[in-house]
């Protein structure tokens, strides 16, 4: 019996290594539109080839109209961003790239956050921090809004109790009223789909939950806040006319939950 248990543990360990190091899954969602958007999220310290060459080639094969990175491009403990700069340069050579800050960028030490922002500014990447820009894609005029969350949504007084919530009022105070026309909102945290919908977003791109870290029978098991069975962890969710698009991300340890690039026809 002991040998069987050890064999099962060894098999899980081997699979976890393969999944975390070798697999890069492309998930496609047809939402009935004419714009092809590639969604990336939560890369953290993970690298897919030198300067993420494998990741960039996979994105290039999709020929997207737009690339959205919904936060945690880096981890809070990183001190060098040269590889990230080269990754962004490669992605910008494929399609326009829009990114927001995740909780890890927000919790970088001040000098490292300044270095990160400098790195991003030296590329053609559009970083949105409670800002809105307009772009035209395939004849559609779209307002792209980047929400910069209050960090206490993620951690408060060093822990995970009594966390703040994102509300319609807090979004309005940070981004203003909903812009006219079609609105794409980039919001790192997917737990507040109702608030994003009430504010008026048509599309919301989120990440953060890493698909639930471990997925069993397609169900998310754990959130970064140490909560079991988190909601809105991976996939497409509808809140009235609002679509919440959640990526399981690319980095961090995971099980039965391969790193993913998500492609939407929206």
> pLDDT tens for residues 134-185?
999 999 999 999 999 999 999 999 899 999 999 999 999 999 999 999 999 9
Which pLDDT belongs to residue 7? Answer: 54
Q: What is the mean pLDDT of the chain?
A: 94
Which pLDDT belongs to residue 9? Answer: 56
- Continuous segment of H or E residues that includes residue 212: none
pLDDT in tens, 41-71: 999 999 999 999 999 999 999 999 999 999 9
**8 pLDDT above the threshold of 70:** no
pTM, whole model, 2 decimals?
Answer: 0.96
How many CB atoms sit inside 10 A of residue 94's CB? 17
* CA–CA gap between residue 49 and residue 44 (Å, rounded): 14
Which pLDDT belongs to residue 21? Answer: 75
* CA–CA gap between residue 67 and residue 36 (Å, rounded): 9
Asked if residue 105 lies in contact with residue 75, where contact means CB atoms within 8 angstroms, the answer is no
* CA–CA gap between residue 236 and residue 1 (Å, rounded): 42
**19 pLDDT above the threshold of 80:** no
Which pLDDT belongs to residue 2? Answer: 65
SS3 183: strand
**13 pLDDT above the threshold of 80:** no
pLDDT in tens, 79-106: 999 999 999 999 999 999 999 999 999 9
């Amino acid at each position: 019996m002991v040998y069987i248990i050890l064999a099962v543990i060894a098999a899980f360990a081997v699979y976890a290594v393969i999944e975390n190091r070798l697999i890069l899954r492309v998930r496609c969602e047809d939402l009935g539109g004419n714009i092809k958007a590639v969604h990336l999220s939560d890369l953290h310290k993970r690298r897919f080839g030198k300067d993420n060459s494998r990741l960039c080639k996979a994105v290039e094969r999709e020929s997207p109209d737009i690339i959205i990175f919904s936060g945690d491009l880096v981890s809070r403990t990183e001190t060098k961003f040269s590889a990230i700069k080269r990754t962004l340069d490669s992605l910008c050579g494929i399609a326009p790239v829009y990114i927001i800050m995740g909780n890890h960028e927000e919790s970088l030490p001040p000098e490292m956050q300044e270095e990160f922002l400098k790195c991003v500014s030296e590329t053609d990447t559009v970083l949105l921090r409670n800002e809105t820009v307009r772009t035209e894609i395939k004849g559609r005029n779209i307002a792209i809004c980047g929400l910069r969350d209050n960090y206490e949504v993620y951690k408060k007084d060093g822990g995970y109790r009594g966390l703040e919530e994102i509300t319609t009022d807090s979004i309005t105070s940070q981004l203003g009223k909903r812009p006219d026309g079609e609105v794409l909102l980039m919001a790192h945290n997917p737990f507040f789909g109702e608030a994003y919908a009430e504010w008026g977003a048509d599309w919301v791109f989120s990440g953060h939950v890493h698909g639930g870290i471990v997925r069993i029978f397609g169900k998310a098991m754990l959130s970064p806040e140490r909560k079991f069975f988190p909601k809105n962890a991976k996939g497409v969710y509808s809140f009235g006319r609002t679509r919440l698009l959640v990526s399981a991300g690319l980095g961090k340890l995971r099980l039965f939950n391969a790193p993913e690039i998500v492609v939407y026809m929206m």
